[in-house]
Chain A
Amino acid sequence: MTESEANQGFGAPPPLPMGAVIARLAGIGLLVVVIAGLFLYVGGWLTPHALTPAALVDTFEHINGVQSGFRRNHAKGVCVTGYFESNGQGATLSRAQVFQQGRVPVVGRFALAGGQPFAADTSHDVRSLALLFKTADGEEWRTGMINIPVFPVNKPQDFHDFLVATSPDPKTGKVDGAAVGAFLSKHPETAAALKILGSGTPTSGFSDSSYYGLNAFRFVNAKGEDTPVRWWINPDLTAAPPSVETTDKNYLFDQVIAQIHSGPLRWHLIVIVGQPGDPTAEAASMWPADRQQIDVGTVTISTVESEDTSPTRDINFDPLVLPDGIRASDDPLLSTRSAAYSQSLTRRDGERKIPSAISTAEVQK
């Protein structure tokens, strides 16, 4: 269509002078550049060195290599099922259905910290138990707990830097002592946390370990009252000293598998009730020992299955999948865990699956 034709239509005015056309085109261009620039900025393209979930998971991959199909951390694990029997004691603090008196099915996973799915078990590896409670109302509570009462760091960037400083050099296989020292001198909270961790001795295995939720959360009850809490689970079994390490690379897993085959394992779920002023954004420190502890029920683990066949392999134990009645605290590590776990899930779900060290045959022994 020519200009003259266009001008015959309704409302089309005579053409603009060339200068005005250029100015208006530039205006449109500028608007596009500003909006696209904001989009790029918000999406982190202009700040390539900022800590992102992808960068955090890249660091795990750098340390451990890309282990196709496995979790980027807590890679070696075995799946379990059971149930939670709530005694109703938690209901005054949280309106979540899981704390109403009754039984809730649970799926979970025992694992060892670290991104190596085929490493030999050792007694000093950090052990984890992740649980998913699913109530009849369709709500879910997922929690990933480890057998140490404090986390070494408080902040996301510190976690990344701590990970880098304490990991063995992939070439020499040695941890750089100077790098660890430099980190600790800048982070007294980490030095203090490591002192607490160093004072405890590991127990004989997964079954007699306590597991801690680490981060603080908030419980909200039916009246809308909000309480800072932390939780941990306390085993019915009396803690035994570490067993002598054997040539069995999977001795910790084989032990817990045999125990579950011979009878269910139980833990009491304990809620620690925070007082106003207790820090909720410091996973590296414990609350005072005199805080009220409420036993809200028992977790029973009754069956065990290899990741090779269990659908639990593909569950992201994101600590911020919470029912109404449990909320995130202001701890920035919670959102970081959520984001990094999601990144790990997205990567491993799209990869070829390699059979787990804890195979179906291992679980049936």
Chain B
Amino acid sequence: MATTTTSPTQFAFLLRILHWLMAACLLAMLFIGVSMVTSVGNYHQLLAIHRPLGISILILALIRLVTRLMNRTPALPPTVPPSERMIMKLSEFAMYALFIALPLIGWAMLSAGNYPIVMFGSVHLPPILAPQPMLYATLRKTHTILAYALFLAFLAHMSGVLFHTWIVRDHFLSRMLPWTVRAKGRRAGEI
């Protein structure tokens, strides 16, 4: 593992921007999704946002994955015990997997359900599966379950980072803040 002296103090700028942009999109998406499926009057308008926003998230997630793999990441502070390191790695992996899987399943589900995949105006995407009713029903359920999983992962992620930042006070959040935070600013006692 890289030592603290050679590793960057923050994630790459593009990654930090993508993190917050995607956080906003995903949170909006989760709320739109859960609201749309129980709404009669707003269903159509919410769905009209849900589809293109989902594809936007897929594109952002792929850019983010490549950027993440191409850049060095800041070391975890020593306040993170090894057991927690493993959980953090697994949850990061799971969240990236969900960012990509959820829109792909949505796209596949609409394809299997024989729906046109309308983005906006006359712009639409090709189907990625042949129409198959039973598969549609399965993918539709999977889409919901994974969305709930992502929402729970988001709550756990947010709670964990805030715990480190507010209670352990190891400047955990500064690794991902969009603005530049210098290492020399991280003095003992400073929050």
Contact = CB atoms under 8 A, between A and B. Distances in A.
A350 B44 contact: no
B113 A316 contact: yes
Interface size class of chain A, counting residues whose CB lies under 8 Å from the partner chain: 35 or more
Contacts of A36: 155
Interface stretch (A7-15, A186-194, A256-264, A292-300): A7-15
Nearest to A20: B167
B167 A6 contact: no
A59 interface: no
A12 B38 contact: no
Contacts of A1: 78-79, 81
B78 A6 contact: yes
Interface stretch (B15-23, B28-36, B53-61, B99-107): B28-36
A288 interface: no
What does DSSP make chain A's interface, helix, strand, loop or mixed? helix
B31 to A, nearest CB: 5
Contact of B137 (A32, A137, A138, A350): A350
Contacts of A139: 116, 122, 124
A181 interface: no
Contact of A31 (B134, B158, B169, B187): B158
Interface size class of chain B, counting residues whose CB lies under 8 Å from the partner chain: 35 or more
B5 to A, nearest CB: 10
B40 interface: yes
Interface stretch (A85-93, A169-177, A231-239, A330-338): A330-338
Given A39-B34, A321-B116, A12 B168 contact: yes
Given A10-B183, A32-B158, A140-B116, A335 B41 contact: yes
A156 B188 contact: no
B114 interface: yes
Nearest to B79: A6
A44 interface: yes
A314 B170 contact: no
Nearest to B121: A324
A53 B116 contact: no
A121 interface: no
Interface of B: 4, 30-31, 34-35, 37-45, 47, 77-79, 81, 113-116, 118, 121-122, 124, 126, 131, 133-134, 136-138, 140-141, 151, 155, 158-159, 162-163, 166-171, 183, 186-191
15 contacts: A9-B170, A10-B4, A11-B186, A21-B167, A31-B158, A39-B151, A43-B34, A53-B39, A56-B40, A140-B116, A316-B115, A339-B39, A348-B133, A350-B133, A350-B140
Interface of A: 1, 5-14, 16, 21, 24-25, 27-28, 31-32, 35-36, 38-39, 42-44, 50-54, 56, 137-140, 156, 311, 314-316, 318, 320-321, 323-324, 328, 332, 334-336, 338-340, 342, 345-351
